[in-house]
Amino acid sequence: MTQQLSNIRLPSPGKLNLFLHITGRRADGYHQLQTLFQFIELADELTFSFHPYPEIKLVSDLPFSSEENLAYKAALALQQTAQVNQGVTIQLDKKLPIGGGVGGGSSNAATTLLALNQLWQLNWPISQLAELGVTLGADIPIFIHGHAAWAEGIGEKLTPVTPDELWYLLVIPQCHVSTAEIFNHPNLPRSTTPVTFQDFLDNRCHNDCEFLVRNLYPGVDKCFRFLNNLGPVRMTGTGACLFVPFVRHSDAAKAFDELPNGMQGFITKGSNQSMLHRCLQSLSK
């Protein structure tokens, strides 16, 4: 890119794990897994403002410091690795639920790396950004690549796939599930037999974290029991968010109308291409 951009506003979409199997645990403590990532049209929004001095600043309403935020960490890591003397102010408008299993933090980090690759005119290839991203979080590469994928390893070995782009009723229980707590819990299954994409298509996949999360978090279990009356409810990632798939928007809307007062939910569309990448493509034209 030859022209210096000064501002970029980009979406930072969520994802669903359409299933999640844990097949083992490595000596370093990371879990071996299989999962299928698909993006959703629900997204945070980030605005990046370039400045020629090396300060990195994050502005948000989140109840924790900037230094703890993955978007800030991603910007700092890229600045240091690429030896950049420029900086950025990042404005984060948070819409994705925190601790819900929809990948908001990882998505914010990936959006930051892709945006600063343009703002700072680095011209890094996607593969190089993904290599840096995985050092910050195992889910970050899927958001950098921007296509629905079958994932293995610790989540970084990605094979593009095209599952059906369904409508989802996404429900957010009023609790924050700790990913670290779930992955470190002694009752988490860790020896599920590996499967294939055909197994997924034949509905022979599940979420290994679901039973444990439902036992530890009564709010998730209560929502799960209710949604089970509306369709085949599933949990994404380590929770807490639950989703029910529908072929038609009208059916998802009907189910949404049946949610009781106090149960927060959204209707969102599954997408095999990230809306972030669609936006980046339009910027490059």
Per-residue pLDDT, 282 = 85
Per-residue pLDDT, 2 = 45
* pTM of the predicted structure, to 2 decimals: 0.93
Domain boundaries, the chain: 7-161+276-283, 167-271
Per-residue pLDDT, 156 = 83
Mean pLDDT of the chain: 95
The mean pLDDT of 176-198, rounded to a whole number, is: 95
For residue 15, indicate whether it is catalytic: yes
Per-residue pLDDT, 1 = 40
Does the structure show a pLDDT above 50 at 200?
A: yes
Per-residue pLDDT, 3 = 57
Does the structure show a pLDDT above 90 at 213?
A: yes
The domain over range 167-271 is classified in CATH as 3.30.70.890: yes
Number of H helices and number of E strands within the chain?
10, 10
Q: How many CB atoms lie within 10 A of CB 91?
A: 15
Per-residue pLDDT, 225 = 97
Structure-block tokens of residue 5:
């951009």
Per-residue pLDDT, 237 = 93
CA distances from 159 to 18, 36, 100, 141, 151 (A): 15, 9, 24, 12, 6
Considering 15, 44, 73, 208, which one is annotated as catalytic?
Answer: 15
Q: Do domains 7-161+276-283 and 167-271 have the same CATH topology?
A: no
Which CATH number fits the domain 7-161+276-283, given the four candidates 3.30.420.40, 2.70.98.40, 3.30.230.10, 3.40.50.620?
3.30.230.10
Does the structure show a pLDDT above 70 at 30?
A: yes
Please give the radius of gyration of the chain, using alpha carbons only, rounded to the nearest integer. 19
Does the structure show a pLDDT above 80 at 105?
A: yes
The region of weakest confidence among 27-31, 120-124, 163-167, 211-215 is 27-31
Considering 44, 73, 139, 208, which one is annotated as catalytic?
Answer: 139
Does the structure show a pLDDT above 80 at 227?
A: yes
